[in-house]
Amino acid sequence: MAKPRILLTRKWPKQVEQHLAKRYDVTGNPSDQPMDSTQLKAALRSFDAVLPTVTDKLDDAVFDQGNMQVKILANYGVGFAHIDSDAAKNNNIVVTNTPEILSECTADIAMTLMLMVARRAGEGERQLRAGAWQGWHPTHMIGSKVSGKTLGIIGFGRIGQEMARRAHFGFGMKILVQNRSTIDPEILSEYGATQLESVDDFLPLCDFVSLHCPGGSANRHLINRQRLDLMKPTAFLINTARGEVIDDSALAKALKQKDIAGAGLDVFEREPDINQDLAGIENLVMLPHLGSSTAETRIGMGLRVADNLDAFFDGCEPKDRVV
């Protein structure tokens, strides 16, 4: 029997590509450039499985065609807002993701951003590299203490809980939670966390706000001008979720006017293009979407995709089916 034909839309870790090649007829993307809608449409017509990433915009227009061969979109990543779930469902295409694998490393990056912006580490490194440091003195580059402060977490899934674990047990932080559904009280008590109903009630109470909610249209610009105004002027905003969750023009204005103390971003609404309003803002730390970027996590994500594919082509329900 012929091997199922699968397409990797980007380069994957070599170990994973070799693992997939044992069972599947694998086509890669040697250019490692994001595919456009024309290429993605052709892929859905030509392959049994397409393995997309966050850079692949599989919107309704990509599915608006006949004679599609694809049976499963095995997404490399936990977020799948870049895939039109309704269109996939209407075309009887299964969608899977890779939860759990990247939770710890994404929470590590959120902690990294929080510490960097609070302690002005990015500013300090730039000063050193520019040869502008004139030595220690009592009022040099005063930052904000992190330990013992109040951390608000929007989105208390696996990554949000890992963030709470690090902040509460590592830094003695008080944890507040805002989530679209009610969290089991036993889970909240594990982190000494309190859940609040509304984002608007939640924001004024936080010294740090870390975003771990899904992206997509439902949460687009969840943090806007009005909600930035609700934050303390001494508070910091961290985003390792999806770029569209923040109105970045409103954030740039709030940072320049010191309406909030600072921000740390690992994701951007139109990445890799960055809103130029953010350029040059000193109280902002930016990273190039490094949340899951460790060898262990990226390999683990790929092997999780392989597990989902194996289950599907064996006629079983994939563990991580989301559509």
Kindly list the catalytic residues: 242, 271, 289
Q: For 129, what's the count of Cα atoms within 13 Å in the CB-facing half-sphere?
A: 6
Give the residue among 289, 316, 315, 318 at the shortest CA–CA distance from 306: 318
CA distances for 89 relative to 38, 76, 77, 317, angstroms: 21, 19, 19, 15
Give the residue among 56, 17, 20 at the shortest CA–CA distance from 36: 56
Burial of 295 (0-12, 13-18, 19+ CB in 10 A): exposed
First to last CA, the chain: 28
Q: How many residues does the chain have?
A: 323
The owner of tokens 């061969």 is 69
Q: What is the SS3 assignment for 238?
A: strand
